[in-house]
Amino acid sequence: MNSYQKNKQQPKFNMTNIISTYESLEVINQINMHVHSGEFVTILGPSGCGKSTLFHILAGLLKPDSGQVFIDNEDVTGKTNLVSYMYQKDLLLPWKKVIDNIALPYVIQGFNKKEARDKVQEYFEIFGLSGFEEYYPNQLSGGMKQRAAMMRTYMNEHDIMLLDEPFGRLDAITKLKMQQWLKKVRKKFNRTILFITHDIEEALYLSDRIYILSDRPASIIKEIDVELDQSDFLTCTTSEGFNLLKAEIIGLLHTY
């Protein structure tokens, strides 16, 4: 049983009747979505369908035309600094060393540089960055930059994490390694994660549930519970259940 299944009585956060337009363009059409504490939920849809707009609404960076966002049953529509948000790009500051990039959330909170460094130091081994504390971002590989960016996201210490296609720019081998690494980190920290991708295999390998979105204006085509053995990538992706779900999702995306 997934950890979130013990907490199904009350969602950690949910969006109700979300509608959003940009100028005269309808981007999101009447979306209702929920995520339980400790759950890993993926939003899967074609590029440009409005997935990132949903994240901006969840993070309070954009107010919907109508609808509400709730965290722990409290209306937080338009409120910021309640979730951790990792964008598609790593957004590491090139003039700062890796440790100072990762410690930035604590500096913003008012800790001095040494205190902020001390607070993040113990996590470098967990995130596979031990020994790279004093490097600059341009000295890291693509995968290591994403680890650093995700570590900084974790340091925000919010229970809810929004991950917007964090592995989309990586090559296939590095992407698989990062997916496996994320699964290990998730077990360690048990955060509530909402994940964006347009990679069907990635969604099925990582997720507890998947929301399938239509092309713009985005609406939910289907909500899928992923009940697969996800302990090993090869076992998962070669199973009959995996291939049936993948075929179903492909069919839905082509239909809508």
Average pLDDT over residues 109-138: 90
Q: Which residues pair with 128 in a beta bridge?
A: none
Rounded to two decimals, what is the model's pTM? Answer: 0.87
Whether 182 and 206 have beta carbons less than 8 Å apart is answered as yes
In angstroms, rounded to a whole number, what is the distance separating the alpha carbons of residues 15 and 71? 9
For the chain, what is the mean pLDDT?
89
pLDDT, position 147 = 87
- The rounded percent of the chain whose pLDDT value lies above 70 is 96
Q: Which residue has the higher pLDDT, 7 or 18?
A: 18
pLDDT, position 105 = 87
Least confident piece of the model among 4-18, 103-117, 200-214: 4-18
The tens digit of pLDDT for each residue in 49-69 reads: 888 899 999 999 999 999 999
The tens digit of pLDDT for each residue in 211-239 reads: 999 988 899 999 999 999 998 899 999 99
Answer yes or no: is pLDDT of 93 > 80. yes
Answer yes or no: is pLDDT of 144 > 60. yes
- The rounded percent of the chain whose pLDDT value lies above 90 is 60
Answer yes or no: is pLDDT of 6 > 60. no
pLDDT, position 3 = 46
pLDDT, position 155 = 85
pLDDT, position 9 = 67
pLDDT, position 157 = 75
Which residue type is seen at 147?
A: R
Answer yes or no: is pLDDT of 23 > 90. no
Answer yes or no: is pLDDT of 126 > 50. yes
Instruction: Lay out the sheet containing 66-71: strands in order across.
Output: 25-35, 13-22, 66-71, 74-75
What is the residue-wise DSSP string for 61-109?
A: SS--SEEEEEETTEE-TT--SSSEEE-SS----TTS-HHHHHTHHHHHH
Tokens of 53: 């707009």
Cα dihedral 88/116/133/128 (nearest 10): -60
In angstroms, rounded to a whole number, what is the distance separating the alpha carbons of residues 182 and 128? 11
The tens digit of pLDDT for each residue in 246-255 reads: 999 999 988 7
Answer yes or no: is pLDDT of 8 > 60. no
Answer yes or no: is pLDDT of 174 > 80. yes
Q: Which residue has the higher pLDDT, 1 or 105?
A: 105
For the domain spanning 3-83+158-255, the CATH number is: 3.40.50.300
Who's near 89: CB < 8 A, 6+ residues apart? 169
Answer yes or no: is pLDDT of 5 > 60. no
Whether 203 and 197 have beta carbons less than 8 Å apart is answered as yes
Where along the chain do its domains lie?
Answer: 3-83+158-255, 94-157
In angstroms, rounded to a whole number, what is the distance separating the alpha carbons of residues 92 and 78? 26
Whether 36 and 12 have beta carbons less than 8 Å apart is answered as yes
Answer yes or no: is pLDDT of 34 > 80. yes
